[in-house]
Amino acid sequence: MPTHKQGTVNANATVKSLGLSDTETVKACFPANPVGVEYALHDNGTNDADIRKNFSELCLDGIVNDGGHTFGEFNLDFAEAPDIAEVETGGGGLPGSPWVPNPSSSPTGNPSDQPDPPSGWGETPSDPPGAGVGSGLGPRDSSAQQASTTLGDYGFGKSPYQT
C-alpha cells in the first residue's frame, strides 16, 4: 500500500521588527527545541531520516522528565500500565470497578469517606460498537503492543493490537 508523505514547513529566519519575532532569541530561549536546527527536520524520504529519528526520540520512545512540573517522569511506553485483574476497587476514592468510577457519593464531600459501590457494580465491561478488541484487551497488554510499534508501522487496516 502506498504511503502518503507529509511535507514539513521550515520557517524563514526573522530579525525582530514590527510583526516579526527574532529567530535567534527564540532559539536561545528554547535550546532543546528542534525547530530551527537544520539536521533535526531534514527528511530524505527514508525510514532513517533525521526527522523520523528525532520524532521517535522526543515523542515515542523512552521516558520524559518534566523536571517535576506536572508528572515528573513519564514513560512513553506506558510501562506502568495496570493489569485489570490487579486494580484495587471499592470505597474511599477508589474506582467502582476496573472499568468504571464509583457512583457512590461521599456523605462528607471527602473522597476518603466514599462508601463502596453497589454490589455487582461494573463487573462486566461492555464492548464499544464496531471492530476491534474493545475492552477485551487490558491496559498493560495494549500498552506493550503499542510500545512495540515504530513510526511507519501504521497503515489502513493495520493495527498493533492483537487479542
Mean pLDDT of 55-69: 82
Instruction: Report the percentage of the chain scoring pLDDT > 90.
Output: 20
> pLDDT per residue over 100-129, tens digit each?
999 999 999 999 999 999 999 998 887 777
- Residue spans of the domains in the chain: they are 1-60
pTM, entire model: 0.52
Out of 82-96, 125-139, 147-161, pick the least confident: 147-161
Identify whether the C-beta of residue 20 lies closer than 8 Å to the C-beta of residue 13.
no
Say what the pLDDT of residue 1 is. Answer: 47
Identify whether the C-beta of residue 23 lies closer than 8 Å to the C-beta of residue 13.
yes
Sign of CA dihedral 68, 70, 76, 80: positive
Confidence band of 79 (pLDDT split at 50, 70, 90): confident
Say what the pLDDT of residue 9 is. Answer: 65
Residue, of 8 and 76, whose pLDDT is higher: 76
Q: Is the pLDDT of residue 137 over 70?
A: yes
C-alpha cell at 100: 468504571
Rounded CA-CA distance 141/57 in Å is 23
Burial 61-70 (b: 16+ CB within 10 A, else e): beeeeeeeee
Confidence band of 20 (pLDDT split at 50, 70, 90): confident
C-alpha cell at 141: 497488554
Beta-carbon contacts of residue 90 (< 8 Å; ≥ 6 apart): 102, 116, 117
Confidence band of 96 (pLDDT split at 50, 70, 90): very high
Q: Between the CA of residue 36 and those of 11, 42, 89, 134, what are the distances in Å?
A: 8, 11, 49, 41
